[in-house]
Homo-oligomer: A and B are copies of this chain.
């Protein structure tokens, strides 16, 4: 008989929860609000209640459930301890112990970006690969590293924090982390806009981006429609993206690198943009690697959280 597994991806506004089979079949995905008041003390009980309600609705017995996995927006160590999740109001919350006490089912937990990487390796853009690097190009650059089918968690759950490797010396602006020149200052959607402003400031050519405010998407659209300045911006973006990813690939030697997040909607053209600098900077023993786009979108965290129970 097919057994069931639950995955929960906790965000600052909603918790996405999914009921899946052990084989990764998506049976039911839904959302509940994230109640962040009172240091987020209701979040875990709310997840437990919601899973219990779903089990009742579907007549699922405890013995049919492998367990529940949780991805949270903060560092989580191998014992399930979340040191801090600012968006949830959490400090030193043991997600595994607390949810297990409420739910009376096996529980595992991880950082949301790491868990999303596991999801993409299980049922997404990296399906079938045991050594994967997920690079999430959103407001920041997130990452998750899967080694031999398992998340690289690290000592304090900060494994895969690739957005904060140092990439550029002499950067005058400050990264969200307080340092200067981090990968995510150039590789994120925010980075696209930063690079665009710098290129535009020194460009005398005409461009649809001139003298207006714009977002990452506008730059991508302009580049795709043949705006020459936007194309140069895209090339510079690809340079930084390839350089940052090459550093990580040289350390962990992945089989496949999966790009996700908002910027990855630009599509496979990103691979052409990053490849020259990736090839320039990656160690030759790690150069033979596939690039792919993430496939699970916002569901990756739910899939990966569920997969935590299936190892």
Contact = CB atoms under 8 A, between A and B. Distances in A.
Interface of A: 75, 78, 131, 145, 147-148, 150, 152-162, 164-166, 169, 177-179, 182, 243, 246-248, 250-255, 280-281, 283-286, 288-289
Contact of A165 (B156, B169, B247, B280): B247
11 contacts: A145-B251, A147-B147, A147-B159, A161-B250, A161-B251, A165-B251, A166-B243, A177-B283, A247-B251, A251-B251, A251-B252
A283 B164 contact: yes
A74 to B, nearest CB: 9
Nearest to A74: B285
A178 B284 contact: yes
Contact of A148 (B131, B153, B251): B153
Given A78-B148, A280-B179, A283-B161, A289 B166 contact: no
B284 A251 contact: no
Contacts of A165: 247, 250-251, 283
Contact of A159 (B154, B177, B179, B252): B252
A235 to B, nearest CB: 17
A158 B288 CA distance: 11
Contact of A252 (B164, B246, B252, B254): B252
Contacts of A246: 166
A164 B281 CA distance: 9
A177 to B, nearest CB: 6
A281 B182 CA distance: 9
Contacts of A247: 165-166, 247, 251
A253 B177 contact: no
A232 to B, nearest CB: 19
Shortest Cβ-Cβ A-B pairs, 9 listed: A154-B253, A158-B285, A164-B283, A155-B255, A158-B253, A166-B281, A131-B155, A159-B253, A165-B250
From A155, A161, A286, residue with most partner B Cβ within 10 Å: A155
A2 B281 CA distance: 48
Contact of A283 (B157, B158, B243, B251): B158
Given A78-B148, A148-B78, A281-B179, A286 B253 contact: no
From A131, A150, A288, residue with most partner B Cβ within 10 Å: A131
Given A147-B152, A148-B153, A286 B250 contact: no
Contacts of A145: 251-252
Nearest to A256: B155
Contacts of A253: 153-159, 161
Contacts of A285: 75, 156-158, 161
Contacts of A283: 158, 161, 164-165, 177, 179, 182
Contacts of A152: 147, 152, 252
A278 to B, nearest CB: 11
